[in-house]
Amino acid sequence: MWAAGEAYEPYVGRWSRLVAARFVRALDVPPGGSWRDVGCGTGAVTRAVLEAAQPADVVGVDPSESYLAYARAHVHDPRARFVRADAVNLPFAGGAASAAVGGLVLNFVPAAPRAAAEMVRVVRPGGLVGVYLWDYGEGGMEAIRAFWDAATALDPRARELDEAVRFPLCTRTALGALLAGAGLVDVETEEIRVPTPFHDFDDYWTPFLGGQGPAPAYLAALPEDRRRALRERLEAALPRAADGSIPLRARAWAARGRRTA
């Protein structure tokens, strides 16, 4: 389902960039470091590192060649490069990086503990590992929560595809435990809240037609009459401001820790 960067950006990428900027600043990695962006996707975290952390270099890793192509086309800083690889088998020597980070990726990795262990392996002693995920389980990602609430009301079987059901890692406790279980010390977690306003209903609905992610994939599989019914239910249910915009918010859980000396 992750195949088109142009479709991902209006769906989730535009909001991930807001979280990435705050996430990177909070890590407080000294300037001049070497970074690894695991599951870099279209490059949101890499761009945040370049803008806020004064790195010596950043290497983004992702298994999707389409997403890597998008990142290369939109990130022109010579300090950044992008390579195709899997999160559970990073193509880096151990102990070489100052920081390894991952935004919105670990819930899509079947072996998340192995991916976390790989991130720990590639940072030097005292180096930092940081990750963040949307809060699906407690409804913090309101745009997607509204979609699944409407979908489940029309089709109870849709619940098994809901990220809140499929991704138990997306909580403060689970994410912190993952990093602690990978051997990191001084593990801290925090919430990052960002506004996710939509100009109108079309601005909300159209990105779901791009096929990028569980909800758009579910929508693409529906026959036209059921898709229309879901659209109508959502259009009636979403909140509206006086100017017709849709004022939603999102919450991400972030966790970070240091590799022991």
Domains located in the chain, CATH noted: 5-258 (3.40.50.150)
Of the pLDDT bands very low, low, confident and very high (cuts 50, 70, 90), residue 80 is very high
Residue 4 Rama label (left phi>0; alpha psi -120 to 50; beta): beta
Average pLDDT over residues 226-243: 97
Q: Residue 242's pLDDT is what?
A: 96
Model confidence at 1: pLDDT above 60: no
Q: In the Cβ-directed half-sphere of 208, how many Cα atoms lie within 13 Å? A: 23
Q: Residue 4's pLDDT is what?
A: 61
Average pLDDT over residues 31-50: 96
Nearest to 98 by CA among 58, 131, 42: 58
Q: Which pTM does this prediction carry?
A: 0.92
Say if CB 63 and CB 86 are below 8 A apart.
Answer: yes
Least reliable range by pLDDT among 161-165, 212-216, 229-233, 246-250: 212-216
